[in-house]
Structures are given as C-alpha cells and as structure tokens.
Amino acid sequence: MHSAVGRGSTPRVCAAAALLALAPAPLDPLAAQEVEYDPNYLATFSIIGRDPQTGELGMGVQSKAFGAGNRAMHAKGGLVIVAHQAAANPMYGGIGIELLQAGYSPQEALDMMVASDEGRDRRQVSILDIQGRTAAWTGEGTNDWAGHRCGVDYCAQGNIIAGPQVVDAMAASFERSKGPLAERLMDALDAAQAAGGDVRGMQSGAILVVKERAGGGYSDRVVDIRVDDHDQPLVEMRRVLDMYRSGMMLRDASQKRSDGDLREALQIATAARDKSPENDNAWVALAEIYIDMGREADAFVALEQAVELNPGRRHTLPNDDDLESVHDHPEFRRITGSGF
C-alpha cells in the first residue's frame, strides 16, 4: 500500500493532515474488541459503479442490519462515491470526499485514512472517482467471508457473506449489464443474493446514484431509494425503482402530449403503466391521452383502475382540467362518486 506521507509541506498535504486531525478517534464501538455483538454491524454486500457516458456514480447495498443505506454510503456528484461497511466509520465518507476535492487520488486518500484509523482492521471501504479510479480495503478483522474485487468502473465488496462467489456475482453482473446505472446496480445486488448473499439474511438496502448538477442544478441526487426494514428488501427496492422510472416516463409522455404527438404519448404512457402497474398516475395519464384521442370508453377503464388503486382519486379527478370534457358523463360520475 503506497503512502502519501513524505511529500513535504505542500498545501495539499497540509489540508489532508488538518482533515485527518479533526477526525475523532474510532467512531465505531466495534473497534474495541470487547464488544461482542452489535445488531447494526454492517455485515453486508455492496457495489459502487460509474457510468462514463452519463457521468453518474452510484452504489447499491443490502444488509441484515437496519438502515444500511443511511450509514454505508457517501457521495458527491461529479467527484466520488464511497462505500464504508463492516464496522462502518463515516470518516471514510466525509473526509474521503474532502481529500478527493483536495486533489488526492482514491488510493492516496484511502491510504491516509486507513493509516490514521485505529479501527482499520474492522473496516471495509471502497472508493470510485469520476475518472474511474478505484481503491479498496478489507481489514483482517472483518468477519468471514470478507473480500472485495475492483474492475473497470466498479468495486464490489462484502463481509459475513456466503463466500467469494457473492462478490464475483456482483462483478460479473455489472460487467455484462447495460442500461441505466441504477438498474445495473440493482441487478448486481440480485445476483449477489442469488449467490448466497449475507449469511444472516436480509433486512435493508439502498440504491444511490449521483451526478453533478442533477435536479435542475440544485442537487446531485439522480436516484435515492432506501428500504430500512423489510423481509424482502431487494424486491421492495426493485418495486420502488420501477415506480420511479414509471414517473420519469410519464414526464416524457406529458411532453409528447403537449407537442400534439398523441400516438407517441400513448406508447410511452403505456410503457410507464407496464413498468409500474400500481402507479395510479400512469392510469390517469393514459385516461387523459385517451380523452384527447376520442377514446372515452378506454379512458373510463383507465380511470376506474386509478380509483381502485387510489380511492383518493375520487376527490381529485373532478378537478382535473384535462378530463373536463367528461366531468358530466354518467360513467365518470359513477367512477368518482360525484353527483350522488
């Protein structure tokens, strides 16, 4: 492990030394060997990845611990994604980001943080920056099986997992997958679980994807999904991710509708419904497009499904200006309960 020590008193080294001096001594009680059990120990598997085409960085994680997504990841869009688990220490995220901003490479930053950390043997950390550079550490004191594997644009890691096949499954999935980064990370987590996953079982998980100047320039979050306590967290994460994608597709459908391209709008809205059939917004969007196309019967079928999924729609649909032409229709009144 090469070290950044001995570079002289450059501003970069001085800044790094100041940051590390501010870090408290082991933040995690598991650094003390007398602690025998912690239900929130981040026995887990995770993967960090980069999409060089979109400039996105992301992480997927699953653990038999509560709220893994709240503690296992730090990221800054356009800069770096950091996974820290086992006896997780947020120093690696907060100070890691500062070191990358100061010009250190992932390996240099990791070397400095590990060297300053008395609980290093209980840590598992990986770093991936926007340039695709990686660094990873699995301490000798992490519980078996524990290990990591870094490849082009990703690092996969795990501890208290069924074996190296869990990490290998994440790596293989990411290497062969295509499409949006969030889905690629989700697929890798599913592959890891199929290979044995966390030997203690499942409880929580998360998908985080960041990009510089996302959210209209006011945020770096592209996708931020967390399931803190669930008997099937990966299934629930997939469901929520599908609903998110459905919503994004509906934005495109709305734009096509505004442009007067009803055929394309209908195609996109139908795909959004198929992506997340429980998304009542998709059914309402379909109804609005059907009304524009003069297909009232199809519109009423869609509206009935929307109300079945969300009875609160009975209160909002009568105020929907896009459905104004059918507000007085007996079938619309029946579906919404208005006028009775």
Q: pLDDT (tens digit, 9 = 90+) per residue, 149-181?
A: 999 999 999 999 999 999 999 999 999 999 999
What is the reported pLDDT for 213?
85
Smallest CA-to-CA distance from 20 within 155, 118, 140 is with 118
Residue boundaries of the structural domains of the chain: 11-25+37-231, 245-336
pLDDT confidence of 205, banded at 50, 70, 90? Answer: very high
pLDDT confidence of 67, banded at 50, 70, 90? Answer: confident
Smallest CA-to-CA distance from 207 within 80, 81, 52 is with 81
Total number of residues shown for the chain: 340
Per-residue CA distances from 283 to 288, 302, 336 (Å): 9, 5, 14
Average pLDDT score over residue span 311-333: 95
Average of per-residue pLDDT values in the chain: 88
Average pLDDT score over residue span 97-119: 96
What is the reported pLDDT for 11?
44
Q: How many other C-beta atoms can be found within 10 angstroms of the C-beta atom of residue 173?
A: 23
Q: Tell me the whole-structure pTM to 2 decimals.
A: 0.85
Q: Tell me if 11-25+37-231 shares its fold with 245-336.
A: no
Residue pLDDT, tens place only, 74-83: 999 999 999 9
Q: Is 284 helix (H, G, I), strand (E, B) or coil?
A: helix
pLDDT confidence of 19, banded at 50, 70, 90? Answer: low
Using alpha carbons only, what angle is made at residue 117 by residues 227 and 30, rounded to the nearest 5 degrees? 50
Q: Is 180 helix (H, G, I), strand (E, B) or coil?
A: coil
214 versus 113: the higher-pLDDT residue is 113
- Return the beta strands (E) in the chain as ranges: 44-51, 56-63, 73-76, 80-86, 123-129, 134-138, 146-151, 154-159, 204-214, 219-227
Residue pLDDT, tens place only, 21-45: 444 444 443 333 333 445 546 668 9
5 pLDDT above the threshold of 50: no
What is the reported pLDDT for 214?
82
Class of domain 11-25+37-231: alpha beta
Q: Which two tokens stand for residue 184?
A: 């690629």
- % of the chain beyond a pLDDT of 70: 87
Class of domain 245-336: mainly alpha
Q: Which amino acid is at 92?
A: Y
What is the reported pLDDT for 36?
46
Per-residue CA distances from 236 to 194, 205, 226, 228, 230 (Å): 16, 9, 9, 10, 8
52 versus 16: the higher-pLDDT residue is 52
What is d(CA 161, CA 309) in angstroms, rounded to the nearest whole number? 39
Average pLDDT score over residue span 275-295: 97
Residue pLDDT, tens place only, 252-281: 999 999 999 999 999 999 999 999 999 999
